[in-house]
Structure 1
């Protein structure tokens, strides 16, 4: 009997034209590290009395479909997750490229996705429809594998013994690494950074109406948020003085490959809290800044992501 193995699993996705309806074409096979995306339906224990100490049969509750997909930060596929997070980009460039895709925060029109996770040896093909990206986060460090986590809210899931999607396109794959990363503050490299965290959230609101299938009616974007953490080796007072003064700075988190592909998030108005600076012992002293971004009046947005690659459009 065949048993499921993660090494044989496959994840494919496509953008929906109609929310909750899987499209026939436009399917991409996506690189991924792990996935918890799926539907679950809890049971409600019986509260009835008068039948003795043994309970009556439980009842099925509403269906919840959501989960996280961990993906690599690569030059092509990551643009799909950026489109899910920010909406369609503005693309410039001439064939054969390179092309620059600019994703800007604050848009109201967020696309939905259909995502199929396949375990062909069972066989089990789970198709989640109406997937809306609630949160996209990643970390910057000195070493290790560079991945991001996409948190999704779906309308529902159907499971079949065979795939029901269209022809798959397998995009080119080239990965960014931590070694390719750089952080700048007001246009200048920010030194002494040990690690950084970036989290963009759409504040998705589930529309939970009464339906006979237990699914949600939709998922609407709420107030967006861009937050993170900077862990720095304490070497000067620059960031602390900014925090005390209540001023904002511009931060940029970027990656660039020698072949020309690049990924850059520009955040024009970052506010820093005043941190507690502790002396834990004889080793080096570090300070943590849990920063928050806000809309910049002159730029007109909270953040902007630029992806440069050979893809003509998303």
Structure 2
């Protein structure tokens, strides 16, 4: 008997025309490292008395479908997750390479249908009505460059055959940490040890009463963009900014030798005043838990720019 193995798992994604309705075609095979996307329905213990010490049968509670997907930050497939986070991009170019600009602030986010498959069982789980709640990643010197997408779904449908058909495949061109650079107000920001970026749509689940126990949707509320920068304490530039309370623009960029690039620009970063500790004979480091806000000059909080050979997302 065949047993499920993660090495044979697969994932396909397509954007929906109608929320909660998987499209019949248009799926794309997505690279991923792991996923906790799933549906669960807890049981409620009976509170009734008068039937002895043994409890009565439990009652089913509401269905919850959500989870995380860990994906590589690459030149092509990552654009689908950026579209899920920010909405449709503005695409420029008469021919490849194309420049896709994703901007924060949109009140309309697309929903997706995501199928995870284990063909050896066989088990194919279709999650419809998936809306991206949070997208986060880390910037560091070693290791693999991946992002975590947190999703809220409407429901799960299990089948023995794939509902995604034969999904289209993309060329995998991964960015690495060694392709990365960080700049502040257009100049390279030195002495950075590590950084974290978290963009959250702060979805509001519409939990109306339905016979199937599913939600009616997930609406975005006030977005949040936060993170952390850890630097070797070499000068007082960032500390002075924190004390003065002035914002700065910080960009995180990755460029491949073949020309593909990804740039994430936070237009107004506010830094808290950090505690500078001398904990021993080694180098002194400072940690800034930063927050972003809407910048008056750009009328938005952040911009993600992806340059690749994909014409339309």
| Range class of TM-score, shorter chain | over 0.9
Q: How many residues align?
A: 313
Structure 1 residue 167 displacement after superposition: 2.9
Instruction: Report what 1:213 is aligned to.
Output: 212
In 1, Cα distance between the equivalents of 2:122 and 2:47? 38
Instruction: Report what 2:251 is aligned to.
Output: 252
SS in 1 for 2:101: strand
TM-score by length of 1: 0.99
In 2, Cα distance between the equivalents of 1:12 and 1:278? 48
The within-5 A match list for 1:1-314 is 1-95=1-95, 97-314=96-313
SS in 2 for 1:179: helix
Structure 1 residue 163 displacement after superposition: 1.0
In 2, Cα distance between the equivalents of 1:242 and 1:156? 46
In 1, Cα distance between the equivalents of 2:247 and 2:298? 13
Deviation above 4 Å: which 4+ runs of structure 1?
A: none
Q: Give the alignment's Cα RMSD to 1 decimal.
A: 0.6
In 1, Cα distance between the equivalents of 2:198 and 2:19? 25
In 1, Cα distance between the equivalents of 2:293 and 2:163? 43
Structure 1 residue 165 displacement after superposition: 2.2
1:202-222: CA deviation from partner (whole Å, max 9, x where unpaired) = 010000000011110110000
Structure 1 residue 25 displacement after superposition: 1.4
In 1, Cα distance between the equivalents of 2:30 and 2:163? 17
1:111-151: CA deviation from partner (whole Å, max 9, x where unpaired) = 00000000111111000000000000000000110000000
In 2, Cα distance between the equivalents of 1:178 and 1:165? 33
User: What are the ranges of 5 or more consecutive residues in structure 1 without an aligned counterpart?
Assistant: none
User: What are the ranges of 5 or more consecutive residues in structure 2 without an aligned counterpart?
Assistant: none
In 2, Cα distance between the equivalents of 1:200 and 1:164? 31
In 1, Cα distance between the equivalents of 2:174 and 2:224? 27
SS in 1 for 2:182: strand
Structure 1 residue 172 displacement after superposition: 1.0
SS in 2 for 1:239: helix
